[in-house]
Chain A
Amino acid sequence: MKPIDMNEVQQHIDEFAGKKVFIHLETTNGAYANHVNEKAYNVGAFIRNAQVTYEHGKIKGAGTAYRVGLKTENGWVYAEGLNAWEMDDENRLLMAGHDREGRLMVALEISETAF
């Protein structure tokens, strides 16, 4: 993946708008957070292959922390902390936020085919 370029990512978000797409949305601090640090909480959530159609989406932010919001008919898809992206070889828009050690903290992925 490469550092987020807002213009490029926005173009790809626009390409998927109005289409029936599959979403992978995830955030995690790992299953060992509390094991490694007694004061930490294990927190995570993911949804894989949620089918949505969004009217429009935007990427906002600066530097190394970006947010993406996708407006759907009845609600929103939202991710914060994104800093890397790629279009993979299956034409899926992968966005992720990694910490200093390269660990995934958040991911938002959009695809026209199921993950």
Chain B
Amino acid sequence: MEKHVVVIFPHPDDEAFGAAGTIAKFREAGVPVTYLCGTLGEMGRNMGNPTFATRESLPEIRKKELQDACKVMDVELKMLGYRDKVLEFEDLSKVSDHLKGFLDEIQPSLVITHYPEYAVHPDHNALGAAAIDAVSKMEESIRPTVWAQAFMRGYQEILGKPDVVQDIRPFVKTKVKTILCHASQAQGVLGNVTGEQLTEENMEAIAMEHFKEETFYTWNFKSI
């Protein structure tokens, strides 16, 4: 049984597509979950379909979507205030210290983040690396386990099969509801993820059918 789970992803909706089923499972078991969300997805390309957001209104819209999504998952939300797309150009040692401040305070038993270099989006790779760096700086006695998520094309050929496979079928409703909170993004991202032609009407059904598991790699902190 985990004590407290901290999820660290850069964009509003990363939690929904990547880990909402796993999060729902932890919440049902009574485990507190905190989401440290790096940016507000300010530079997102999806503006709703038909478009209802502009480049300038998108951050506020996505912030609201994120807050709604966290309500659905029943998790605590902390927004870190970085800017979408340029996270990798920040001083990552400062980002790591920033994250460590939260971890020192929360003292989680598990951290979920992206697998650096195997998570496609540069923001994913950068924040995942900063998160792992932050955890590595914690005393071994209180160091949480890290589950890192990879989804780059061909990742399993290099990394092998993920050792953590969460069957999320019992929680797919919560996951899909969480995804749909991200109304500006849901249809566009779901279209990419499922490879289906989605409409407002069919996307919920297709999403319910699509998501079955969420997978992670337990990070190996070599003892120093």
Report yes or no: A84 in contact with B51, Cβ–Cβ below 8 A.
yes
Contact of A104 among B45, B50, B120, B191 (CB under 8 A): B45
Q: A31-B122, A32-B121 are in contact. Are A96 and B46 (CB under 8 A)?
A: no
Count the A-B residue pairs with Cβ separation under 8 angstroms: how many? 65
Q: Is A41 an interface residue (CB 8 A)?
A: no
Q: How many A residues, CB 8 Å from partner?
A: 28
CB atoms of A96 and B43 under 8 A apart? no
Q: Which residues B171-223 have CB closer than 8 A to chain A?
A: 187-188, 191-192
List A residues 49-99 near B (Cβ within 8 Å).
84, 86, 88, 90, 92, 94, 96, 98
| Candidate in A28, A103, A105, A107 with the most chain B CB atoms within 10 angstroms | A103
Contact, CB under 8 Å: B85 / A102: no
Q: Are B45 and A30 in contact (CB under 8 A)?
A: yes
User: Does B56 lie within 8 Å of A101, measured CB to CB?
Assistant: no
> For residue B191, which residue of chain A has the nearest CB?
A101
Asked if B56 and A94 make an inter-chain contact with CB atoms under 8 angstroms apart, the answer reads yes
Evaluate contact between B191 and A26: CB separation under 8 angstroms.
Answer: no
Q: Closest approach, in angstroms, between the C-beta of A27 and any C-beta of chain B?
A: 11
- B19-45 CB mask vs A (1 if < 8 Å, else 0) is 000000000000000000000000101
A38 to chain B: closest residue by CB: B153
Q: Tell me whether A96 and B85 are in contact (CB under 8 A).
A: no
Partner pick for B57 among A28, A36, A88, CB 8 A cutoff: A88
Which one of A1, A30, A101, A105 has the highest number of Cβ atoms from chain B below 10 Å of its Cβ? A101
Would you call A35 and B152 a contact (CB within 8 A)? yes
- Given the known interface contacts A28-B43, A31-B120, the answer about A101 and B49 at a Cβ–Cβ threshold of 8 Å is yes
Closest to B192 in A: A36
Residues of chain B within 8 A of A32, CB atoms compared: 120-121, 192
- Chain A residues whose CB sits within 8 angstroms of the CB of B72 once the complex forms: none
Contact A102 B152 (CB under 8 A): no
Query: Which one, B46, B55, B120, contacts A94 given CB within 8 A?
Result: B55
A31 touching B54 by the CB < 8 A rule? no
Query: Is B48 an interface residue when CB atoms closer than 8 A count as contact?
Result: yes
Given contacts A31-B122, A32-B121, A35-B120, whether A104 and B55 have CB atoms under 8 Å apart is yes
Q: A86 and B122: CB pair below 8 A?
A: no
Instruction: Name the residue of chain B whose CB is nearest to the CB of A108.
Output: B55
Residue of B nearest to A101 (CB): B49
B96-135 toward A: CB 8 Å interface, digit per residue (1/0)?
0000000000000000000000001111000000000000
- Is B92 among interface residues, defined by CB-CB distance under 8 A? no
Find the A residue at minimum CB distance from B153.
A35
By a CB distance below 8 angstroms, the chain B residues around A92 are 56
CB closest chain-B residue, reference A86 = B54
* Cross-chain contact B46 with A102 (CB below 8 angstroms): yes
Interface residue B47 (Cβ < 8 Å from any Cβ of A):
yes
Q: Determine whether the beta carbon of A102 is less than 8 Å from that of B43.
A: no
Known contacts being A31-B122, A35-B120, is A103 close to B54, with CB within 8 Å? Answer: no
Complexed CA–CA distance, A115 and B55 (Å): 10
Distance in angstroms from A22 CB to nearest chain B CB is 12
**Contact residue among A90, A103, A109 (Cβ-Cβ distance under 8 Å from B45):** A103
Complex CA distance for A36 and B191, rounded to whole angstroms? 10
Give the residue of A35, A102, A115 whose beta carbon is less than 8 angstroms from that of B48.
A102
